Amino acid sequence: MAPPWAIARRVEAQGTARLAVDRETLVIDGEAWVLDLPQRSSSSTVEAGGDALTLSDIALRFAVTRDEERVDLTVVYPDREIELPARSHHYMLMTLARARLAAAGAPVGERGWLERKELCRMLATDELRLNVEVCRARKQFSALGIQGAASIVDRRMGTGRIRLGVERVDVRRM
């Protein structure tokens, strides 16, 4: 099994994701780049060991207005709650949370997966913008010091499917 920090070592191209290989050559917009992966994470969160919270330790509570113009997001820790500053990617996360809730009867490993193109249709966006939203969500959760924050949005490699990486979610109307 790969170490927890290896989760983010993925390469995504043309709608499919795969594990990245150290020193491989990637061609991006016609320009060749050599991928240099670190041998271990430099994140103090990973090094902190047992004290660091993971995505499985938290719950997400979404509050949405009737017109869905505003989504408030609160991260619920075992000992406290943090209301996050409003960001546009919260709507994407809420949409993924709703998919998880809708699939509550399915086996845990199968809950909440959506086709990326279907999610783009639901969000009225394109795949490029979706990728930006995913990146911003990962950055926001990483800033909270959550171990494995890159998996706040999971991608099923080779399938084009995507889901919220937190199982415990609640979506309410304001």
Query: Over the stretch 87-121, which tens digit does the pLDDT of each residue have?
Result: 999 999 999 999 999 999 999 889 999 999 999 99
Strand locations in the chain (E): 10-13, 16-19, 25-28, 31-34, 59-64, 71-76, 81-83, 114-115, 153-156, 161-164, 169-173
Comparing 72 with 4, which gets the higher pLDDT? 72
Q: Give the residue from 150, 134, 154 showing the smallest Cα distance to 5.
A: 150
**pLDDT over 90 percentage in the chain:** 61
Residue 164 in this model has a pLDDT that exceeds 70: yes
Q: Tens digit of pLDDT for each residue in 36-61?
A: 776 544 444 444 444 678 999 999 99
